[in-house]
Amino acid sequence: MRYTSNEKRSVIATVVDDSINQILVDPRLNANPLVDEAHHRVPPAGFRSCGRQQRKEAIRLGMRVADCPKCGAAARPAGNSAYCPVCGWNRLVAAQDIHQSILALPLVFVAFFVFSLLTRRWVGTLLISGLACLWTVGSGLKLVLQRRELRRTELTSPIAVSATAFQVEREQDDRYVVPSRFSHFSSLAAPRKLKMKPVFRWLAILLFVIGLIFTDVSYSLLVPPHKAPDDPYWGLRLGFIPLAIYCVLFWGWWLERRRKTLLRSGLIRFAVVLKSNAGRGVLLPGIAYRFLTENGKQIEDFDQDWTDSYHQGMVVPVFCDPAVPENHVAMCASFYNVL
């Protein structure tokens, strides 16, 4: 029996409605006061529209910010931090962070302006000061919009006290809520399917194309008729550029061998982020996290966060070796995602 597209949509909508109705009355979820408050504040139709909107955003952008550890909703960035607009997690910390960032912008501009004066050239002063002014205005506008959105959520969903990251860190690991986009990980059969993150896939393609171009140019300078008569070793020296590119690609592939093995066949655990420099514009963003093994042993470690979206108190999936849990990797530190 074949179903039409409209009948399929109707069946899917019915299943989603039943699932949402069961979640809203689940006593295990409503035991958390913040989740219970969110369930009473937002009607079922709001959860459905929110889910459709997040799915469209995920398809359009190809990425998502990390989720709230209290209710599992998508968190929103705020300066160098993040907060949850549904349950209010980390809202007070986010407001303070935005305020401090806005106050720091004029100091940053003054520092760049003083540095431009040290060049003693009007062109350098004008260029550096202009770029610093554009960056300051852009960053300030982004912070103002984030503060406006934060205040708007405070009016629509006021809370008494925000659950700060320190409170999440102090609680036991069984108190957090596993985000819905990770809830199916435990049911995936090994070996799991992986897909390279778009940014690394396009970066690898770009580096490979650049390496091929420099290889062709280097080879053409080593053989007639394009061989430079005055400097016959110019093509050889130019060949170090594609060689360095190929070495970087090989180094990345070699590092990902162990990570891919753990992502495919490792034991799935969920860790709480203890420290993070996400959103601070660092070259190599990283997180310090803690998770419990099957034996109840706590393991703390540091790893890279290539998504630059996991803040303190959030939940990140970790894949570890069942025999040696110390051999593990956080999914945000890998070039691949688990499907």
Please check whether residue 51 is in contact with residue 74, taking contact to mean a CB–CB distance below 8 angstroms. no
- DSSP per-residue string spanning 45-99: HHHHHHHHHHHHHHHHHS----B-TTT-PBPEEETTEEE-TTT-TTHHHHHHHHH
Closest CA to 193 of 184, 180, 203, 201: 184
Name the helix (H) or strand (E) containing 315. strand 315-320
Out of 27-41, 63-77, 116-130, 279-293, pick the least confident.
27-41
3-class DSSP state for residue 225? Answer: coil
For residue 153, the model assigns a pLDDT of 76
pLDDT band at 64 (very low <50, low <70, confident <90, very high): very low
d(CA 99, CA 104) in angstroms, rounded, equals 9
Q: What is the pLDDT of residues 281-312, one digit of tens each?
A: 677 788 899 988 888 888 898 988 887 788 88
Domain ranges of the chain: 76-156, 199-258
pLDDT confidence of 155, banded at 50, 70, 90? low
Q: What is the mean pLDDT of residues 67-76?
A: 77
DSSP, residue by residue, 95-156: HHHHHHHHHHHHHHHHHHHHHHHTT--HHHHHHHHHHHHHHHHHHHHHHHHHHHHHHHHHHH
